[in-house]
Amino acid sequence: MSVMPDTPPQPEAFAPRTERAALEDLRARLRATRWPDAPEDAGWSLGTDVGYLRALVAHWADTFDWPAQEAALSRLPRFRVRLGGLGIHFVHARAVAPTGPVLPLVLSHGWPDSFWRYSKVVPLLTDPGAHGADPADAFDVVVPDMPGYGYSDRPSGPPLNSIAVAGLWAELMDVLGYARFGAAGGDIGSHVSRYLALDHPDRVVAVHRMDGGLPFFTGDPAELTPEERAWFEASAAWGASEGAYGAVHRTKPQTAAAGLTDSPAGLAAWIVEKLRAWSDCDGDIERSFTKDEILTNVTLYWLTETIGSSMRMYHANAATPPEQLSRRVEVPSGFSLFHGDIVRPPRAWLERTANVVYVNEPARGGHFAPFEEPELYAEELRAFFRPYRAAALG
């Protein structure tokens, strides 16, 4: 008896439309918020400013137009495909009027976001000529939602770590017909991009990251440079003052998920505090994000019910074996360390952990630079990947 070959996964176009009942339920919950008290003049010093949150929630309940935002996001070419037993949502935007080799590029997001992180930058990368840049720098852009984020399925079993997600992205790029490609990302997406380069060096022509990951070193501390030791100390201090969220995500994510999945105001507080703290806004969050932009990100989490599943990825990554964390990336690596990002690594650490061919420190932008400063971010990717375009055709 002959055995039929497996049918390769087929992406299907995806354009969600939220039911009115879901939005009515959201508004009812927002209007019924039971507000916490706060010490006088606490501001943001103890977490999310309750006064700011009240104004944001009022806008969410009474003014924010989710159907308009949903339609705007659907102007990106979006798809879903089944990989590894999970439905994976992704943007796949092809280069417009390129004048040279087109480099496929997979962009990996982090927390607390989704494909939303790159929604502003996709047109700049696919059609640079329409935005004052060289048409020869056009990319085919792929932006997947990680499992448990956005419109990708939530794993029903153990959460996937960054290594497993990198494996899915390699499979996705194969499904889309890209034998060789570039990889880029920030936050957890930086780790995913790193493992793409580590585990698929024959396919990843170059990798761009916005950070060097968290410090991990098993050697003799005396081998570290003074700059590296100072970075380790600064990272530890940051963890002590700002890292409580990460400890919760790594250890007891389900406890927080119960409240955040039930309360939209609580969900907004959990996310907004990080958008403010990690962006280059000098304490004024609306220098980096409008209320509508903030609420588009938060509403995605609310409607997809992915806050718990997104946090569980921290738990999975915390169990990554030390030998994986200490691997050195030999694929050509570039780093853009934006001025307003958190705990930026020194060059000595980058060179210790990767084959560094490019480092730049843009003067504006923070942890969410692709959204905060899309033009600067797009130029960073163009500059770094320019020498590797022809390699993608080899």
Q: Cβ distance 79 to 116 under 8 Å?
A: no
Cβ pair 280, 344 in contact under 8 A: no
For 80-128, give the secondary structure using H, E and C.
Answer: EEEECCEEEEEEEECCCCCCCCCEEEEEECCCCCCHHHHCCCHHHHHCH
Give phi and psi for 364, each to the nearest 5: -130, 155
Q: Please, what's the b/e burial string for 198-218 (b: 16 or more CB within 10 A of its CB; e: otherwise)?
A: bbbeebbbbbbbbbbbbbebe
Which of these is catalytic: 187, 211, 280, 341?
Answer: 187
Q: Token pair for residue 29?
A: 């919950």
- Active-site annotation holds for 314: yes
Q: Which of 114, 81, 117, 116 is nearest to 306 (CA)?
A: 114
Say which of 118, 137, 367, 377 is annotated catalytic: 367
Distance CA 138, CA 124 (A): 8
Structure tokens at 270: 């959990």
| Catalytic-labelled residue, pool 314, 341, 377, 388 | 314
Q: Which DSSP state fits 130?
A: G
Residue type, 231: W
Distance CA 199, CA 193 (A): 10
Q: State the DSSP string of 226-255.
A: HHHHHHHHHHHHHHHHH-HHHHHHHH-HHH
Q: Is 367 a catalytic residue?
A: yes
Q: Which residue has the tokens 């507080």?
A: 269
Residues with active-site annotation: 187, 314, 367
